[in-house]
Chain A
Amino acid sequence: MERTFIAKNPSVLWFLLGLSVFTLLVSIFSEAAGSAVISTSFLKTLGKTLCLCLVAIAMDVVWGYCGILSLGHFAFFGIGGYAIGMWLMYARTKDIVVGSLENNILPPTPDEVTTAIGSQIFGVVGSSDFPLIWAFSHSLTLQLLAVVLVPGLLALVFGWLAFRSRVTGVYLSILTQAMTLALSLYLFQNDTGLRGNNGLSGLQNIPGLEAVSQATLSLWFFWASAFALGLGYVFFAWMLAGKFGSVIRAIRDNETRVRFLGYHVETYKLFIFTTTAMIAGIAGALYYPQAGIINPAEIAPIASIYLAVWVAIGGRGRLYGAVIGAVVVSLMSSWFTGGSAPDINLGIYIVKWTDWWLVLLGLTFVAVTLFFPKGIGGLFDLISSRQEKQQ
Chain B
Amino acid sequence: MSTLLEVSGVSVSFDGFKAINNLSIQIGEAELRAIIGPNGAGKTTFMDIVTGKTKPDEGYVIWGEKSVSLLDMNESQIAQAGIGRKFQKPTVFEEQTVRENITMALKNPRSPLDLLLNRAAADTEERVRAVSDDIGLTDALDQLSGALSHGQKQWLEIGMLLAQDPRLLLVDEPAAGMSATEREQTTDILVRAAKTRAVVVVEHDMEFVRRLNCKVTVLHQGSVLAEGSLDHVTKNQDVIDVYLGR
Contact = CB atoms under 8 A, between A and B. Distances in A.
Interface string A236-274: 000100111011011001101101111111011001000
Contact of B93 (A1, A239, A243, A253): A253
A229 B239 CA distance: 68
A267 B79 CA distance: 16
Contact of A257 (B91, B110, B115, B119): B91
Contacts of A268: 112
A247 B110 CA distance: 10
Interface residues of B, number: 29
A263 B115 CA distance: 11
A262 B95 contact: no
Contact of B91 (A244, A254, A263): A254
B85 A260 contact: yes
Nearest to B124: A243
A187 B65 CA distance: 58
A265 B104 CA distance: 13
Nearest to B121: A243
A264 B109 CA distance: 11
A259 B75 contact: yes
Contacts of A247: 104, 115
Interface in B83-140: 84-85, 87, 91, 93-96, 100, 103-105, 110-112, 115-116, 119-120, 125
B107 to A, nearest CB: 8
Nearest to A271: B112
B147 to A, nearest CB: 14
B79 A261 contact: yes
A271 B112 CA distance: 8
Contacts of B91: 254, 257
Contacts of A261: 76, 79, 104-105, 160, 164
Contacts of A243: 100, 103-104, 115, 119
A51 to B, nearest CB: 25
Tell me what chain A mostly uses at the interface: helix, strand, loop, or mixed: helix
Interface in A269-314: 271
Nearest to B160: A261
B11 interface: no
B154 interface: no
B22 interface: no
Contacts of B160: 261
B76 A263 contact: yes
Given A244-B112, A244-B116, A271-B112, A264 B93 contact: no
Interface residues of A, number: 24
B217 interface: no
Interface in A1-42: 1-2
Contacts of B125: 1
B186 interface: no
A315 to B, nearest CB: 15
A261 B112 CA distance: 14
B223 interface: no
Nearest to A1: B125
Contacts of A253: 93-95
A388 B119 CA distance: 30
B38 to A, nearest CB: 26
Contact of B51 (A260, A263, A264, A271): A260
B22 to A, nearest CB: 26
Given A244-B116, A264-B110, A257 B51 contact: no
B142 to A, nearest CB: 11
B97 to A, nearest CB: 9
A262 B79 contact: yes
Interface string B54-87: 0000000000000000000011100110001101
Given A244-B115, A261-B105, A249 B95 contact: yes
Nearest to A259: B75
A243 B100 CA distance: 7
B140 to A, nearest CB: 17
A263 B79 CA distance: 8
Nearest to A241: B119
B70 to A, nearest CB: 13
Nearest to A239: B116
B110 A263 contact: yes
A254 B119 contact: no
A161 to B, nearest CB: 17
B78 to A, nearest CB: 8
Contacts of A1: 125
Interface of B: 51, 53, 74-76, 79-80, 84-85, 87, 91, 93-96, 100, 103-105, 110-112, 115-116, 119-120, 125, 160, 164
10 contacts: A243-B119, A244-B112, A247-B104, A249-B93, A254-B91, A254-B93, A256-B75, A260-B51, A263-B76, A264-B111
9 smallest beta-carbon distances between A and B, as pairs: A262-B79, A244-B115, A259-B75, A262-B80, A271-B112, A250-B93, A246-B100, A264-B76, A257-B91
Given A249-B96, A253-B94, A261-B76, 19 more contacts: A2-B120, A242-B115, A242-B119, A243-B100, A243-B115, A246-B93, A246-B100, A250-B104, A253-B93, A254-B91, A256-B75, A259-B75, A260-B79, A260-B84, A261-B160, A261-B164, A262-B80, A267-B112, A271-B112
